[in-house]
Amino acid sequence: MDKRYFYIVNTCPNTFEKIAVYKDNSLIKSFYFYFPYKFPLLRFSKYDYYDIISLIDFNEFCHRFYCKEGNFMERNFKPIVNKGEDFSYSDDDLFNITSWGADLSFRELITMYDEQDLIKPTLQRNYVWKLDEASRLIDSILLGLPIPSIFLAKKNEKQLIIDGYQRIKTVYDYVKGIFSQNNKIFKLSNSVIINERWRGKAFSELSDDEQRRIKNTTIHAIIFEQKKPNNDTGMFQIFERINTSGRTLSSQEIRNCIYHGSFNNLLIDLNKNSDWRELLNCKEDIRMLDMENILRFFAITDIQDTEFYTRNQIILRKFLNSYMSQNSNIDDNKINTLKVNFKNTMYYINRYLGSNAFNNLSFKGKDNQIITYSKTYVPKFHPTIFEAVSAAFLYASKKIDLSTFDFSKIKEKHIELLNNDDFKDAISNRTTNLENIKKRITLATEYLFNLDYEWK
């Protein structure tokens, strides 16, 4: 019997987590629990019979089922989304972006890729095509069929792949001989969808003429270069609007592709930080939403030194784009300062507030009745709470010695903060309004550390 155990966020009233037990891909039973208290330990017979033999805590549950009974699936990173925070925007800047077409042979593209003149952005979607998909492209090239265009962005004499990486990498792998999906010899599929003349063959097994045909085949490239303004805001909007990959890219995935440099590498590195991962209680998000919140931490705590501080309302996406663009190639001293600030902040938050640090409270009682005071946490990451709490800890670290600070009542203070009506309003309504940003950070600093947050 194939037994698999995992838990998912559910929407049932007054319950927050669900254990789902499957047999041969069919649901047998679901158990609902208040996270993160007690979970059932199940005993199975060789038939469908099972019973609960004890209740175990969350860590023990993870440990036992990872080691013995099956595969424990971690929660996906699904933050609360506040209305108004994820708006797209049409930039106020007038762009001077030139574009032109060029027919590039795969021989040229392979050489450019080898010499790192053609770049796949760091952590951009990796090679995902299956053998049949890859084989169909090679088959089309050998048959002389047209290949869809690719989009490149010229930046510092290099070409950044905006769209077309799967096609370029397929031909690159086939010519080089190794298929990236499995690191085995790249032989075309034996499927009937592939012409029998080269079905099942590696590049080295093709005739000389067939090999030349692949290398000499050209693909049309549309190349963009932004002249003005002197940042990458235009590139972001081009990438957002024309990328034709199988799914819509998240804002942070696009930033990761556009804003190369030391700051982006720092975000990637910090996203692996052990305290940060314990606080989120999930694996790294493939859509980079967790990494976006690290960017948000730096941007919001530095907002007083940006042009956005003079505005009543900010567009979050534009603010984060601008901040990442302006800091894309900061020097080692700045990188080290940011790294220390983030790691120390997450260390103290993890140590003294734990996994509920960035969660809100549930204000629903029995029968969905609204209650005014709560001590029950909802185990879901709340970006504006994260923003306020982390900013308060960072500010406090610069004003007092946290190593000697009395944290004995910090959890009670955290609950009092989350019950404060002004704070509840500031984390839920008009969250990108500058006054509400300042209000929630000020309140968090006052409640948690009894300090006045000094604004310019």
Q: Which residue has the higher pLDDT, 33 or 416?
A: 416
**Residue 264 in contact with residue 341, Cβ under 8 Å?**
no
Q: What is the pLDDT of residues 125-134, one digit of tens each?
A: 567 788 999 9
Q: Count the alpha carbons within 13 Å of 178 in the hemisphere toward its beta carbon.
A: 4
Q: Which residue has the higher pLDDT, 67 or 150?
A: 150
pLDDT at residue 11 tops 50: no
Tell me the backbone φ, ψ of residue 285, rounded to 5 degrees.
-80, 130
pLDDT at residue 141 tops 50: yes
Structure token pair of residue 78: 């699904």
Checking DSSP bridges between strand 184-185 and strand 38-44, what pairing results, if any? Answer: unpaired
**Residue 157 in contact with residue 300, Cβ under 8 Å?**
no
Quickly list DSSP for 396-428: HHHHS-TTTS--TTHHHHHHHHHH-HHHHHHHH
Band (153; pLDDT cuts 50, 70, 90): confident
Residue 250: strand, helix, or coil: coil
pLDDT at residue 151 tops 90: no
Band (25; pLDDT cuts 50, 70, 90): low
pLDDT at residue 402 tops 70: yes
Average pLDDT over residues 218-242: 69
Among the ranges given (37-41, 256-260, 319-323, 441-445), the one the predictor scored with the smallest mean pLDDT: 37-41
Q: What is the pTM of this model?
A: 0.64
Band (174; pLDDT cuts 50, 70, 90): very high
Q: What is the pLDDT of residues 254-283, one digit of tens each?
A: 788 778 789 999 999 999 999 999 999 888
CA 174-249-305 angle, 5° bins? 125
Spatial separation of the C-alpha atoms in residues 170 and 89, rounded to whole Å: 34
Residue 435: strand, helix, or coil: helix
Spatial separation of the C-alpha atoms in residues 33 and 17, rounded to whole Å: 5
Q: Which of 422, 399, 409, 259 is nearest to 325 (CA)?
A: 259
Average pLDDT across the chain, whole number: 80
Checking DSSP bridges between strand 3-9 and strand 72-73, what pairing results, if any? Answer: parallel
Task: Tell me what pLDDT residue 243 has.
Answer: 56
